[in-house]
């Protein structure tokens, strides 16, 4: 069963345009246990992922990607030069995982957080109740509404 997700990213660090340029990428740097557990236990190949830009002028849903690789050890946790380095993790028992994403669309029209907050149809979005969680579930009807709005 295809699931729908929203992954947050700071566009100054990695944006939907970067993903479009690269085509696909390992979604590295998730360092929160609840988000990690979702990546490891729930995110599956074929799932659809809305890419959300946070900590920027207009926080908004900016594009669409697809999961093409399921959870594996995030190499950045072992790299002392990476901002995501975790000295408490080891290759024997990796603490953090990543999934592989493939770019699908960079939306011509972004859907701002402001609009999501104002429209009762988006009341179930985790952006409203669990804004800090970086890997969020998206109800199917919300997903379809968002994609329709943004295209």
- 134 touches DNA by CB under 7 A: yes
**Whole-angstrom distance, CA of residue 75 vs CA of residue 78:** 6
- 97 touches DNA by CB under 7 A: no
HEC per residue, the chain? CCCEEEEEECCCCCCHHHHHHHCEEECCCCCCHHHHHHHHHCCCCCCEEEEEECCCCCCEEEEEEEEEEEEEECHHHHCCCCCCCCCCCCCCCCCCEEEEEEEEEEEEEEEEHHHHHHCHHHCCCHHHHCCCCCEEECCHHHHHHHHHHHC
- 33 touches DNA by CB under 7 A: yes
- 31 touches DNA by CB under 7 A: yes
- Candidate residues 17, 18, 121, 131; the one interacting with DNA per rule CB under 7 A: 131
Q: Kindly identify the residues of this chain, within the stretch 66-85, that bind DNA according to CB under 7 A.
A: none
Angle value at C-alpha 114, between 145 and 100, nearest 5 degrees: 60
- 151 touches DNA by CB under 7 A: no
- Candidate residues 7, 8, 16, 96; the one interacting with DNA per rule CB under 7 A: 8
- 55 touches DNA by CB under 7 A: yes
For the CB of residue 89, give the shortest distance to DNA in the complex, in Å. Answer: 11
For the CB of residue 10, give the shortest distance to DNA in the complex, in Å. Answer: 6
Nearest CB to DNA, comparing residues 29 and 69: 29
Residues at the contact surface with DNA, assessed by CB under 7 A: 8, 10, 31-34, 54-56, 59, 113-114, 117, 130-134
């Amino acid at each position: 069963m295809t699931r729908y997700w929203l992954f947050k990213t700071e566009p100054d660090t990695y944006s939907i345009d970067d993903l479009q340029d690269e085509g696909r990428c390992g979604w590295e740097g998730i360092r929160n246990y609840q988000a990690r557990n979702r990546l490891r236990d729930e995110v599956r190949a074929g799932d659809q992922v809305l890419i959300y830009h946070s900590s920027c002028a207009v926080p908004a849903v900016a594009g669409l990607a697809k999961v093409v690789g399921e959870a594996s050890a995030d190499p950045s946790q072992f790299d002392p030069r990476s901002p995501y380095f975790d000295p408490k993790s080891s290759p024997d028992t990796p603490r953090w995982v990543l999934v592989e994403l493939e770019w699908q669309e960079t939306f011509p029209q972004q859907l701002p957080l402001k609009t999501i907050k104002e429209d009762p149809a988006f009341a179930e979005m985790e952006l409203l109740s669990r804004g800090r969680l970086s890997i969020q579930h998206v109800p199917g009807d919300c997903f379809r509404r968002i994609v329709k709005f943004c295209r």
